[in-house]
Structure 1
Amino acid sequence: MNNDRSISVLLVDNHPLVLEGLRAVLETYEHIRVVGTAGGVTQGLELAAVEMPDIVLLDINMPKISGIDAIELFRSALPSTKVLMLSMHDNREYISASILRGATGYILKDVPNEEIVAAIETVAAGRTYFSTGVSDVLLQRQQKAKNELLPITPREREILALLAAGHSNRAIAGQLDLSVGTIETHRKTIKRKLGLSTTAELTRIAIEHGLLEAD
């Protein structure tokens, strides 16, 4: 990605040693700027409102308000901020719930530091990122989901994959040589056919059916 602009990151984790370790690691990278740390969701939301970070790196196990419930709070307060989950759990329910609530990535705490940085870079670039252990869980779900046919056309599958990957209507229109209005119509049709209401749900369906590869 283009390193001319730094990526601002807010760290939210209730373990002080984890916060200190993550901050120390990330601050060794010139293109990543840690704008603050928080030991709880409420404090994290207050800091985020002031700092407007590009990414919130959020622990899934938080006191009072869970990381999963906090995703919607951060996304509602800061629509342009991406939420990247950090967890010890490779549980499919946690992963699916995080995606459904609007997280754009999910990485495990035991991954190398370089992978955490890669996840931050990928999410900042507008794409999704799932660490290796998470990808394995998603692939297991994909094997089951691929046996279930989606009731959409090949063109709609193509557009669904692009939407789930984070591309805008305008970008998809340019790529497929269609009008923006046509892409928006396809988006509405896909949501209606699949009984979905949000882009997060589109992303979840695309991943489960193998239309969007986990990085």
Structure 2
Amino acid sequence: MARNGSRSVPQEQPEPRGRIRVLLVDDHAVVRRGIRAYLEVLDDIQVVAEAGHGLEALERMAAMAAHGELPDVVLIDLLMPKLDGVATTARIMERYPVMRVVVLTSFGEMERVHAALANGAAGYLLKDAEPSEIVAAIRAAACGEVFLDPAVARKLTQEIVSPPKGLGALTSRERDVLALVAQGRSNQEIADELVISERTARTHVSNVLRKLQLASRTQAALVAVSQGLVPPPVA
């Protein structure tokens, strides 16, 4: 499906000509070095650049675009400082709609996987994937195909068929917010405690109420007590 953007998007991705140009984006230099070392022995893949976080990746891509040398595939970690893989993927697809992005993730980052796919990622791999799987994902993405790690795909399918309920639907941060709500904290007090903005705290509270299908902070407090997140009030 074509995405809106400044450049036209072909209906089908053609078979890549020559070597597949890859940009590696990961905040751990040793990870980038290991992946590069494996890919550099292949005849059809070339690592053209590296970046340690999303902002650096976007800067490198802008410089490469100015010379008509954009990579074919971006292999990107989801959890990075300054600009994470989810936000970076969204910006890449907005600026370069024909780009193919493959994300690296941990099994516990399913919420980020959902977001990355929604932002246009063409595939995802677990960080402990075999080198051969990374190569397969890059080749598939370059040809316009989608590569999904089987373990993550099963988890996503399970969540679609049987979405988590109750506290299981909350992220760890949302559980922290729920506990603070149960303690009677205001949005500003929650923000101060978690070192986030008041607006972000308010968003978290709204998400907690929505996911738990509750109408008020009082109901949220009762749920937190009943589930053992916080001790019951002393009589």
State the distance in 2 between where 1:46 and 1:124 align. Answer: 22
Read off the aligned partner of 2:71 and give its amino acid letter. P
Equivalent pair of 1:90/1:137 in contact (CA under 8 Å):
no
In structure 2, which of residues 138, 145, 151 is the aligned counterpart of residue 120 of structure 1?
138
- Deviation, structure 1 residue 141: 3.0
1:45 equivalent in structure 2: 58
| 1:66 counterpart (84, 89, 107) | 84
Greater Rg over alpha carbons, structure: 2
TM-score with structure 2 setting the length: 0.58
Identity value in percent: 37
Give a deviation string over 1:62-108, Cα, whole Å, max 9, x none: 10111111111111222211111011234332221111111111111
TM-score by length of 1: 0.63
Does the 8 Å CA contact 1:86/1:108 hold for their aligned counterparts? yes
Paired residue for 1:106? 124
Tell me the residue number matched to 1:92: 110
Q: How many angstroms apart in 1 are the aligned matches of 2:107 and 2:28?
A: 16
Q: Aligned pair in 2 of structure 1 residues 30, 61: CA closer, same or farther (>3 Å)?
A: same
Return the alpha-carbon distance in structure 1 between the equivalents of residues 21 and 108 of structure 2.
Answer: 26
Q: Select 2:161's aligned residue among 122, 143, 147.
A: 143
SS of match in other structure, 1:63: coil
Q: Is the 8 A contact 2:55 2:82 kept in 1?
A: no
Displacement of 1:138:
2.2
SS at match of 1:34: strand
Q: Structure 2: which amino acid aligns with 1:23?
A: R
Q: Write the distance in 1 (CA, Å) between the matches of 2:158 and 2:48.
A: 37
**Aligned with residue 30 of structure 2, among 17, 21, 45:** 17
State how far apart, in whole Å, the 2-side matches of 1:3 and 1:73 are.
23
Alignment-mate amino acid for residue 122 of structure 1? A
Distance 2:134 2:140 in 1: 10
One-letter identity of the residue aligned with 2:143: A
User: What is the CA–CA distance in structure 2 between the aligned matches of 1:8 and 1:67, rounded to whole Å?
Assistant: 19
On the 8 A contact 2:23/2:49 being kept in 1, the answer is yes
**Aligned counterpart for 1:134 among listed residues 152, 167, 185:** 152
Q: Which amino acid aligns with 1:126?
A: G
Distance verdict in 2 for CA 1:32–1:25, change over 3 Å: same
* 2: CA distance, partners of 1:111 / 1:63: 22
**Aligned residues between the structures:** 145
Alpha-carbon shift at residue 41 of structure 1 (Å): 1.3
Structure 2 distance, partners of 1:133, 1:72, is 24
- 1:78-89, aligned counterparts within 5 Å? 78-89=96-107
Matched residues in 1 for 2:85 and 2:135: separation? 20
- Give the Cα separation in 2 of the matches to 1:2 and 1:103: 19
Judge conservation of contact 2:16–2:143 (CA < 8 Å) in 1.
no
> How many angstroms does 1:7 deviate by?
0.8
Q: Would the aligned equivalents of 2:53 and 2:84 in 1 still touch at CA under 8 Å? A: no
- Work out the CA distance in 1 between the residues paired with 2:44 and 2:23: 14
Q: 5+ residue gaps in structure 1?
A: 146-215
**SS of residue in 2 equivalent to 1:56:** strand
Structural RMSD (CA)? 1.9
Which amino acid counterpart does residue 44 of structure 2 have in structure 1? H
